[in-house]
Amino acid sequence: MPTLTIDGKQITVDPGTTVIQAAESMGIFVPRYCYHPGLSIAGNCRICLVEIEKAPKLQIACNTPVADGMVVRTNGQKVEQGRQSVLEFLLINHPLDCPVCDQSGECDLQNFYMQYGLYDPRFKEQKVKKTKAVPLGPTVMLDAERCILCSRCVRFTDEITKTGELGIFNRGDQSEIGLYPGKELNNKYSGNVVDVCPVGALTDRDFRFKARVWYLSSSPSVCNGCSQGCNIDIHYVTDRPHLAGGARVMRVKPRYNAEVNQWWICDEGRYGYHFIDQGRLRKVTHRGVETTWEKALMELAGALGRVKEENRQGQIGVIPSAQLTTEELFLIRKLFVDSLGISQCDARVPEKPGTSDDFLIKADKNPNTAGAVSAGLAGSSFDTPAVRPEPFGKLRAGFVEGRRPATQDERCTAAQIIDRCLAGQINVLWVFGHDLVKLFGEQTVKKLSQELELFVFQGSNENGSSRYAHWVLPSAVYAEKDGAFTNCHGLAQKFTKAFEPLKDSRADSQILTELFERLAAVGPEQAVHPSTGPAPDLIGGSG
């Protein structure tokens, strides 16, 4: 294995490692525009020039393989002068329109100018005019004048999505990024080109002009859009209600995870966050009338308590959701199944499988079906999809089956619970999150509303269920709580609360805990404290 010296420090790395990688592994940052670890090497921006002993010219760190005994300097006059001149070249035709550029504040032209530039501008000529504010498709806007032609976006559409929409046309200083005339950039991962763009050339139409990036706070999380569980950062603002109509979440960005999503997320996940601030249930209601948590929990505990113990198994149905965290699912299992003895408790609903591909998008649009399975609330295995070979190498395997409680009736799915409701066998129904109207039709849900003695909907957003349920309990979305999702490959991933639940909504765990404290007070001797009993089986995690 070659040993080399970078900035006076020695390091031994694998053969084939490049200088930029070796430096990075020592915590030495070499500036880069075209280099992206997820894409092929282009070597065109020239900002990563370093000095290598015995080489007459500066070399680009991104394409120089390490060699034993190599001596590299990432600073010093020659390197700094080289970088500075490259920056000057990159900026001569750049419009310098930072005040109106969305990238401002997270732009590597700004950043590197402050770190490595700081020269007096001397370009006195007309800049090259190119197209500006061109929508490339539904998600991305192009400003060709800001583009430094690093080709990251072109390589992304060539190498990652293999859709090949983008190209660099013409040559010399007339070179321009763009699409074939009449075509658009509209693949399932388009938004990633905005992330890979190091400057303000490609901006996100969804985020454009919503907020300056320096107002954003960031919280690491896990996408709830499907069972892949891509790692994300939620970028939000809580103290500027005049921005984006008072919404808190401004955008979602992928967060690197070698085993799950690398640097990428799909557009469905990226732009699927609007439900966090829109269409939310804000108040506890009983038959359309606003009430308080106190009253609701008292009455619901009372109602549950009135069902005779021997009738609970047959008369109460619970439909949990694989959108909930593993902790919450275990709590549901403990409280409804283990404590109250309810067997008709199952998260499997008759959903049509969603779109999927062989990359990140999974047909199961729930982030935590595996968590529901491990809590014994969704049969014994994943219904959809079959576990595919992992695209990113080794997985932390080890999802443990067989922890299901013996009482679980495997054939009892949500559809059967609804059937039993309609047949009059079940007269208390507690639904978490699901839109029963979408799943079973409006007539059915209307009928449930009329015939059930108690119909509770506990969820975060308005939907068909919230319209017909007797009781509506507003709950927090994933961004408003701590927890973990287990993805389709069995990887459990923790995430933390970004901000507080909206208005009166509460985390499901809090709602359930308080409900059962009251239930214990009204009598059922089986009630157990939520902190005892089987624990979620969390394997690893990256939150």
Partner 1 sequence: MDFKQLESEADKIIGRYEEKRAAMLPLLWLVQEKFGYIPPEGEQWVGERIGVSIAHVREVVSFYTLYHTKPIGKHHIQVCTTLPCLLKGAKRVLAQLEERLGIGAGQTTPDGKVTLSTVECLCACEAAPATQINERYVGPLTPETLNQVLDHVLKTPETHDWLVDSARAELVEARANVRPSTGSGRTEFQPYVSTEGPVLSKRFRSAEGAWFDAYAADGGYQAAKQALTSTPAQVIETVLKSNLRGLGGAGFPTGKKWGFIPKDNPKPKFLVVNADEGEPGTFKDRYILERDPHALIEGMIIAAYAIGSHKAYIYIRGEYVRPAQRFAKAMEEARGKGWIGKNIQGSGFDLEIVIHRGAGAYICGEETALLTSLEGGKGFPKLKPPFPAISGLFKCPTIVNNVETLACVPPIIRNGPEWFAKLGTAKQGGTRLFSLCGHVVRPGLYEAPVAVTLKDLIFDSRYAGGVRAGKKLKAVIPGGISAKILTAEEINVAMDFDSLMAAGTMAGSAGVIVMDETTCIVQALWSASHFFKDESCGQCSPCREGTGWVFKIMDRILKGQGRPHDLDALLSVAGNMEGKTICVFADAAAWPVQSYIQKFRSEFEHHIATGRCELAVRGELVEPRTDRHPSTNSG
Output 143 or 346, the one with its CB closest to partner 1: 143
Q: Which residues contact 94 (CB under 8 A, 6 or more apart)?
A: 109, 127, 145, 146, 148, 199
Q: How far is the CB of 262 from partner 1 (least distance, A)?
A: 23
Q: Which span (157-165, 274-282, 361-369, 416-424) binds partner 1, by CB under 8 A?
A: 157-165
Q: How far is the CB of 146 from partner 1 (least distance, A)?
A: 14
Under the binding rule (CB under 8 A), the answer on residue 111 touching partner 1 is no
Sign, CA torsion 124/129/135/140: negative
CB 432 within 8 A of CB 332: yes
**CA angle at 126 for the pair 123 and 132, rounded to the nearest 5°:** 110
Chain centroid to CA 32: 26
Identify which of 326, 298, 369 has the alpha carbon closest to the alpha carbon of residue 521. 298
Q: Of residues 122, 242, 308, 394, which one binds partner 1 by CB under 8 A?
A: 122
For the chain, helix, strand, coil in percent to 5 are 30, 15, 55
d(C-alpha 264, C-alpha 248), whole Å:
23
d(C-alpha 444, C-alpha 442), whole Å:
5
Output 97 or 173, the one with its CB closest to partner 1: 173
The one-letter amino acid code at 95 reads: P
Q: Of residues 61, 107, 142, 148, which one binds partner 1 by CB under 8 A?
A: 148
CB 49 within 8 A of CB 31: no
Output 27 or 172, the one with its CB closest to partner 1: 172
Output 199 or 492, the one with its CB closest to partner 1: 199
Output 45 or 196, the one with its CB closest to partner 1: 45
Contact code string over 16-55 relative to partner 1, x by CB under 8 A: -------------------------x-xxxxx-x------
* Placement of tokens 């070179």 in the chain: 175
CB 259 within 8 A of CB 393: yes
Q: How far is the CB of 264 from partner 1 (least distance, A)?
A: 20
Number of residues this chain uses to bind partner 1 (CB under 8 A): 46
Q: Is 247 exposed, middle or buried (0-12, 13-18, 19+ CB in 10 A)?
A: middle
Identify which of 193, 234, 197 has the alpha carbon closest to the alpha carbon of residue 216. 234
Q: Which of residues 159-188 bind partner 1 (CB under 8 A)?
A: 163-175, 178-181, 183
HSE (side-chain half, CA atoms, 13 Å) at 403: 20
Under the binding rule (CB under 8 A), the answer on residue 119 touching partner 1 is no
Residue 130 token pair: 């190119």
Q: How far is the CB of 136 from partner 1 (least distance, A)?
A: 11
Q: Of residues 88, 106, 482, 517, which one binds partner 1 by CB under 8 A?
A: 88
Contact code string over 126-145 relative to partner 1, x by CB under 8 A: x-x-----------------
Output 170 or 531, the one with its CB closest to partner 1: 170
Q: Of residues 5, 75, 85, 291, which one binds partner 1 by CB under 8 A?
A: 85
HSE (side-chain half, CA atoms, 13 Å) at 28: 21
Q: How far is the CB of 250 from partner 1 (least distance, A)?
A: 31
Under the binding rule (CB under 8 A), the answer on residue 58 touching partner 1 is yes
Q: How far is the CB of 174 from partner 1 (least distance, A)?
A: 7
The one-letter amino acid code at 227 reads: S
Under the binding rule (CB under 8 A), the answer on residue 77 touching partner 1 is no
Under the binding rule (CB under 8 A), the answer on residue 57 touching partner 1 is yes
Q: Which of residues 452-471 bind partner 1 (CB under 8 A)?
A: none
Neighbours of 179 (CB within 10 A): 17
Q: How far is the CB of 162 from partner 1 (least distance, A)?
A: 9
Output 121 or 241, the one with its CB closest to partner 1: 121
d(C-alpha 212, C-alpha 158), whole Å:
31
Q: In the chain, what is the straight-line distance between the N-terminal and C-terminal CA atoms, in Å? A: 33
Q: Of residues 82, 137, 225, 433, which one binds partner 1 by CB under 8 A?
A: 82
Output 171 or 411, the one with its CB closest to partner 1: 171
d(C-alpha 478, C-alpha 333), whole Å:
19
HSE (side-chain half, CA atoms, 13 Å) at 405: 25
Q: How far is the CB of 224 from partner 1 (least distance, A)?
A: 33
Residue numbers of the site for partner 1 (CB under 8 A)? 41, 43-47, 49, 56-58, 63, 65, 82, 85-86, 88-90, 92-93, 122-126, 128, 148-149, 163-175, 178-181, 183
